[in-house]
Structure 1
């Protein structure tokens, strides 16, 4: 069987969010001729040594906009470099550029980080022969941050509650309140009419704004009653508590920057309550991580 797929770079963008740590001296895609195209980048380090590094890798595939595809992982880069076999996915990614980079040793880093002339031919071999990937348009996103100090901040921006079946439920209230510059919370009260409820199915979906809101990382459905009896049954769901009353920004900030770090951006988290396979109510929480 002949594999005729061919890999091509189409764009290469680099952004430095904290100019005190470092900034990009150059970052570009260059086409020499029809058969030779490469990418290069140089990140100048200002805070040396550079250590305690986390790398967040997300793979997106274009399908009516870019959607998460296959991998969304966060790795302690220094631990990985000491033992590359600890993460097979990151090992594959690392081996896809290390021959063209000076990031080929363990932490700490004391010199500028360089990727020099990573060619199409090398990447084409990686994604068609070593680990074949389906044809399509992809976005590979690498977010690098210091694991020692995370200064991201969560801010609620809106909360919207809707009950689609008024014979089943109604919201008495659902609001976002800012008490002062440092204290903001969401509150809601849901009135249930069909009691008792022995079966509750909850769907939690996370969306990230990227030319409109796109699915991001998690879309999970759990039997809430079974989950509450055994919270270890779904470790992911443990991080998405149902909002009750006065859920403060500080608590969510700690969850999304320390317990389960998220990359910066604008998000929408949907909590959908299903009854007989139909969504009877939904709560949409909008927030910004910056």
Structure 2
């Protein structure tokens, strides 16, 4: 199985201060673990993605939101969006590039260059709502890529999977009520951003989980709740918001997953994609802040994507 590895140097330029867990070292930790695991040469790398243009962003975000992020971009120092989210002079370009990478991977997978792809990108995106940046996120990378698949490539059934420890409120806001999209997620609850657990939406399969939930319980919930809906939906492509902060070593969450759990989840999604979607998956990095656990988890995720 051919798996593309998409990234760009611009994604290293955004940073929010030495204290901040969403840091450039996250991408380097992934690279280090790929080398240590001796699988780095097994993936074809692509760092040629263009910046996302305004038309692509407007499929998800309001003009006012795009203008706000652009206007907030500082010439020097930092500009705060919220207490946890700020911009440096390179953030605007990094955010455009991250969304552009997600679209480039989508193009490559749909064109058949790869069966699936992983996007090692930052800033992350799944908390970015159509009209608001929040939670380390400025533009919703996965939502921009999904809209690209729907509107540019003409797909009619797309599944979005989010296994970050935090609910993907921005992605849900982008697709709630969209019959062409089925979104399946699990997340720690109650926990930031304190959403996703109350209202039942027809195209949303949300699984709120208590703190300290371990991998076998997550697997059972996926088996009972995600997989039947995915089989019934028969997606033509799968997009993954791949957050690894549900790992038991990650201090920004309080769940109990390990690398094997992320590999098992990915295996299930790969089998769904092989059955209904010609194997087509695009996975985009979201959370994961313990650098060692992040790197190991991404390696497990990539091994499962590539069926190694």
Which bin holds the TM-score, normalised by the shorter protein? under 0.3
- The structure having more radius of gyration, on CA atoms, is 1
Q: Normalization by structure 2: what TM-score?
A: 0.21
Which protein is richer in helix relative to its size?
2
Q: Answer 1 or 2: higher relative contact order, Cα 8 Å, separation at least 6.
A: 2
Q: Normalization by structure 1: what TM-score?
A: 0.22
Which protein is richer in strand relative to its size?
1
